[in-house]
Amino acid sequence: MKPDGPERGGPPQARGDARGFTIVELLIVLLIVGLLAAIAIPIYQGAIAKAERLALAADVRELYSAFMRYHIDQGRFPADTGAGVLNVATLSPLATAGYFSGAKALNDKLDGNQLLFYWAPDWNGPDADFIAIGRSAAQPDVLVYAMHYDIAGLVAYDGVYFLRGGQFVRADEAY
Name which residue leads in pLDDT, 19 or 39.
Answer: 39
**What is the C-alpha separation between 149 and 144, in angstroms, rounded?**
15
Identify the weakest region by mean pLDDT among 79-83, 101-105, 150-154: 150-154
pTM (2 decimals)?
0.78
Mean pLDDT along residues 141-145? 94
> Would you list the domain boundaries of the chain?
20-174
User: Residue 174 has what pLDDT?
Assistant: 64
Peptide bond before 93: cis, by omega within 30 degrees of 0? yes
pLDDT bucket at 172, cuts 50 / 70 / 90: confident
Within 8 A by CB and 6+ apart from 32, the residues are none
Please, what's the b/e burial string for 128-151 (b: 16 or more CB within 10 A of its CB; e: otherwise)? bbbbbbbbbbeeeebbbbbbbbee
Mean pLDDT along residues 112-121? 95
Please check the confidence at residue 118 and state whether its pLDDT lies above 90. Answer: yes
User: Residue 82 has what pLDDT?
Assistant: 85
User: Residue 35 has what pLDDT?
Assistant: 95
Please check the confidence at residue 153 and state whether its pLDDT lies above 90. Answer: no
User: Residue 112 has what pLDDT?
Assistant: 96
